[in-house]
Amino acid sequence: MDVPSGQLSRRNFLHAVGWGVGATAVLGASGCSGGSGGEGGTGFSGEAAVAHLKAIINAAPFLVASELGYFQDEGLELDLVSFPGGTDTIRGIASGIAFGMPATLPGLIAYQKGQRDIRLISGGFNEAVVNFIVPADSEIRGIGDLEGSKIAVSQPGSITTYFANRIATEQGLVPGENVQILNVGGPPDAWTAAQQGVADVAWSALPLSESLISAGDARLLFETRDYVPNWADNTYWTTQQFIDESPDTLQAWLRAMQRAMTTIREDPDAAAPAYAAAADLEEAVARGALQQASSAFSLEIDMAGIEENVRAGVELGQLDAESLDLGQIIVRDFVDALA
């Protein structure tokens, strides 16, 4: 295991977090408490930074943990702060928020550009969340029909731009010639472009795509995960300073997140209403979105998926793979302690 210099030794780490350290969590005005919380707790009160808290399915474990009282059960009083993207989220963590969930690639880029105190401590969502949809009455029936189309994605240099270009190229198309990639903004902007005929295909993500498809307004054209099988979309990050100061808090946070992920996979009757209430969704939409995404929620550190992010960063001109030392960024101790 590669361990950054100055990091806790395994012996000191396990002594610090303990194996019986209890907790009790509160997320602002967190929901009902219950379950297997310990005694005493960490007594931590603060913020967690989350990319697209209510907008994208990746953040669902945060909302489920909050609504079902799992943070309370771990002694955490958390205010979940939503950021509009991975870059802003990692900037929030680097600027003083204790921990959180950015997209993986912005974290890697931030580290290489000088934010050397940030650390990746666990997985989060280990599949590509991006999908591509078309209006329900579109003549485009499959990915083989993309020639001559216009695909609405996010901003230049974004992961959605990368995915659209990569997948189109793998289909034998030439972006800029026989398929056009349009930078329009987030999923609602892309869908508006498709509705108005500015684009033929829109990038999207759960739960919005599930809502549009359930309403009969859209059809799923393809999911990125079918073409990019290894992808660590979101990971959980903190700083070396917070690792040194409060390892027990980080372990309590990950226990709550692991419990929420287990609930999503194994108890949809509890997870779906909680997610629906927290994300302002219809319960049927929440249930469908969680069901589709459940296999991607994992604290496992997916090295193949992280390395695919590095590849994307290189192709986007934002990373230098030769000078990027993943052993200095990734801290495995916390996930190992959950095993």
Domains and CATH numbers, the chain: 10-128+231-338 (3.40.190.10), 131-226 (3.40.190.10)
Q: Average pLDDT, stretch 2-27?
A: 35
Q: Average pLDDT, stretch 180-194?
A: 95
- pLDDT tops 80 at residue 19: no
Cβ burial, residue 314 (10 Å; 0-12/13-18/19+) = middle
Q: What's the pLDDT tens digit per position in 258-296?
A: 999 999 999 999 999 999 999 999 999 999 999 999 999
Give the phi and the psi of residue 258 in degrees, each rounded to 5: -65, -40
Q: What's the pLDDT tens digit per position in 42-80?
A: 789 999 999 999 999 999 999 999 999 999 999 999 999
User: What percent of the chain is modeled with pLDDT above 70?
Assistant: 88
Structure-token pair, residue 2: 């590669």
What is the chain's mean pLDDT, rounded? 89
**pLDDT value for 41:** 57
The DSSP result for 45-82, as a single string, is EEEEEEETTTTBGGGHHHHHHHHTTHHHHBTEEEEEEE
pTM of the predicted model, to two decimals?
A: 0.85
Give the pLDDT band (50/70/90) at residue 23: very low
